[in-house]
Amino acid sequence: MDQTDRALLACLQQDNMQTADRLAEQVGRSPSAVARRVRRLRAEGAIAAETAVLSDAATGYPLSAVIHVQLESHVPHESNRLRQRLIAHPQVQLCLDIAGAFDIVLLVVAANMEVFNAFTLSVLEQPVVRRFETSFVKKRHKATLAVPLD
């Protein structure tokens, strides 16, 4: 991957709907060369996914919560089953294994507190979970998965 590829990836992280003409202006290559590079980057897996980022107002999920989960035990089949349920759950936006006092951190969205409580009862209230702590998001200042490529 050369500097032009990295510049293209940086541009696409900001807006993946840009035309080849617009990308070409930004990276100093022809639109056809840019289109070929983008196709190659997709084929090679450098671009893992292309998704739309929706506004909070449009989704109907005004409640966001950061949940720290501490496991009761680290028996692989039990903890992996929990992770699979978390990953598959549509309200879970982010699921990370972390080091420290907790084992997993989640970003969860909900339509309201009743829906949030139903999520915790159905997904987190089980023997493999020792405890969990929730912090509710008051205001989102930045939300991105973009990686600096400079």
Q: What secondary structure, in 3-state letters, does 60-79 show? A: CCCEEEEEEEEECCCCHHHH
Per-residue pLDDT at 30 exceeds 80: yes
Question: With pLDDT > 90 as the criterion, what percentage of the chain qualifies?
Answer: 82
Question: Quick one: pLDDT at residue 54?
Answer: 84
Per-residue pLDDT at 111 exceeds 80: yes
Question: Quick one: pLDDT at residue 53?
Answer: 84
Lookup result for tokens 């966001």? 64
Per-residue pLDDT at 150 exceeds 80: no
Query: Do 46 and 1 touch, CB atoms closer than 8 A?
Result: yes
SS3 94: strand
Lookup result for tokens 């139903």? 118
Average pLDDT for 46-54: 90
Per-residue pLDDT at 106 exceeds 90: yes
Whole-prediction pTM value? 0.85
Question: Quick one: pLDDT at residue 74?
Answer: 86
Interatomic CA distance for residues 130 and 79, integer angstroms: 11
Average pLDDT for 131-142: 95
What is the pLDDT confidence band of residue 31, given thresholds at 50, 70 and 90?
Answer: very high
Q: Which two tokens stand for residue 54?
A: 């929706």
- Strands, sheet with 104-110, edge to edge from the N-terminal-most edge strand: 92-97, 104-110, 63-71, 129-136
